[in-house]
Amino acid sequence: MTFIETEDGTAIFYKDWGPVDGAPVLLSHGWPLNSDAWEATARYLAVRGCRVIAHDRRGHGNSTQTWNGNEMNTYADDLASLLSTLELTGVTLVGHSTGGGEVARYVGRHGSSRVAGLILVSAVPPLMVRTEDNPGGLPVETFDALRDGESANRSQLYRDLADGPFFGHNRTGEVPQGTRDAFWRQGLESGTHNAYESIAAFSATDFRPDLAKIDVPTLVIHGDDDQIVPFDISGKLSAQLVPDAKLIAYEGGAHGLPDTERDRLNADIFAFVTR
């Protein structure tokens, strides 16, 4: 197993697949998952010549379940430590859901000197929660309900998300049991304190200043039937806030696009990386 150690002693687990001299791609996962959520995409890119790195965010998967640092600034700093340790340059950062916030905050906080491009997939920016200057956001009660579920019975919460809105199974009834079980398993591999605090990180962090600082080619991919991170308050707005960003809306697409739209998403990511 491969790890890097951050300044505060946190061990961040990562996978490093494909040829070492391939075009580098960094895949950042959503809540409450880990790098396994990207394994199909990672293999798709690696067998086509890319070098693919996928890490477990602190508190998730095989990384240290820290008590502190479960917020976007530290997530971005951990990502900076990983890129620096691996001496990666010209990397395409791909973030799904919470991971989209992580890679946006990385650029906002650390700049784009190592970055060739950015792909936001079903990503949480610009700002999910409703505030006075973000009246279209979701009410805080939406996220309080997640916190209540995490506290009361996290196993059931993850089961309900997987069987319901995350993959759009409540719309179609067609998402395989194995896909839903994988979400549940990965969720339970996170630390409950880390997962609880991460809800505020992905919902209440204002990424609008970060998006304004993005100065590399950016692709925004979002399902227009995303029930977790609604298209109109997220992908659509992010594409407007990032200079010259390209938006691809997947008609009828749910939140869990790395699984529900795997073939299309993988092809779109590869085309962007090799453009």
Domains and CATH numbers, the chain: 2-273 (3.40.50.1820)
Quick one: CA dihedral 167, 170, 173, 179, positive or negative?
positive
Q: What is the pLDDT of residue 1?
A: 81
pLDDT in tens, 100-143: 999 999 999 999 999 999 999 999 999 999 999 999 999 999 99
Return the C-alpha torsion angle 135, 140, 145, 149, nearest 10.
120
- Tell me the average pLDDT of the chain: 98
Q: What is the pLDDT of residue 181?
A: 98
Report how far residue 186's alpha carbon sits from residue 190's, in angstroms, rounded to the nearest whole number: 7
Q: What is the pLDDT of residue 12?
A: 98
- Please give the distance of CA 61 from its chain centroid, rounded to a whole number: 14
User: Going by DSSP bridges, is the β-strand pair 11-17/51-55 parallel, antiparallel, or unpaired?
Assistant: antiparallel
Q: How many residues does the chain have?
A: 275
Q: What percent of the chain has pLDDT over 70?
A: 100
Report the catalytic residues.
Answer: 97, 226, 255
Whether residue 210 contacts residue 110, with contact meaning beta carbons closer than 8 Å, is answered with no
Which of the four pLDDT bands, split at 50, 70 and 90, describes residue 176?
A: very high
Q: What is the pLDDT of residue 51?
A: 98
Nearest 5°: the CA angle 70, 76, 79 is 110
Whether residue 103 contacts residue 79, with contact meaning beta carbons closer than 8 Å, is answered with yes
Name the maximum alpha-carbon separation found in the chain: 48
User: Would the pLDDT of 270 be above 90?
Assistant: yes
User: Would the pLDDT of 45 be above 90?
Assistant: yes
Tokens representing residue 25 in the block: 């791609």
Tokens representing residue 236 in the block: 């659509």
